Amino acid sequence: MFPKISILLLVPLLFFACKEKQKSTSTDQEETNKETYFSVTRFLDDQWANRHGIPYTLQRVTVLNGRSDTTYVLLDSTLWQNIRAQFDAADISEVKFLDRYQFSFVEDNTTETNNLMYEAKEEDLFLQSMVVAADMFTDMVRTVYLETKDTREGYTRTQKLSYIPDQVIQIQEFEKSSATPKKELLIQYKFEY
């Protein structure tokens, strides 16, 4: 089994909003700090960098409107890109998202995790909430959980996305439309060893 990946490079992201240094456009080239939130995209980049080339078999369970199907698939770059596209769409690490989310940090001694929690301040934001749980002793991310919402005239799509490294990836979608029947989809990938 592949050892758990330390996120020591992401520690500043886990405990406080991280600081990114960017050069200013002034002639003296002073450096200024820009705060950002936890980057799901960077985290998933790191996960793939540490897994690329290692043969993982995943059990994929798909449940569409109550009908289920189970199959085994190899985790290759194409499948990884398809899975992570759902998570990447909800990334809020760009500076433009600052102050649009309520951030809180909670230590949970029962689960021995430090939890970063983000709640949308605006109803029309795609990412509505995110919880990143990290081991309080090793700083390794244990879980990334996201909830998204896309609403347009006559159409609503919500998602619940969960990633537990080396264990399970879950994508749950609910669609309502005035033109089509409602759709409930669950895709779960379990790591097999």
pLDDT of residue 21: 32
- Domain containing residue 91: 8-192
What total number of domains does the chain contain?
1
Percent of the chain with pLDDT over 70: 82
The answer as to whether 1 is a domain residue is: no
Cβ-based neighbours of 172, under 8 Å, separated by 6 or more: 159, 160, 161, 185, 186, 187
The answer as to whether 109 is a domain residue is: yes
The answer as to whether 107 is a domain residue is: yes
Structure tokens at 63: 């449940």
pLDDT for 179 beyond 90: no
pLDDT tens readout for residues 95-139: 999 999 999 999 999 999 999 999 999 999 999 999 999 999 999
The answer as to whether 3 is a domain residue is: no
The answer as to whether 157 is a domain residue is: yes
pLDDT of residue 35: 64
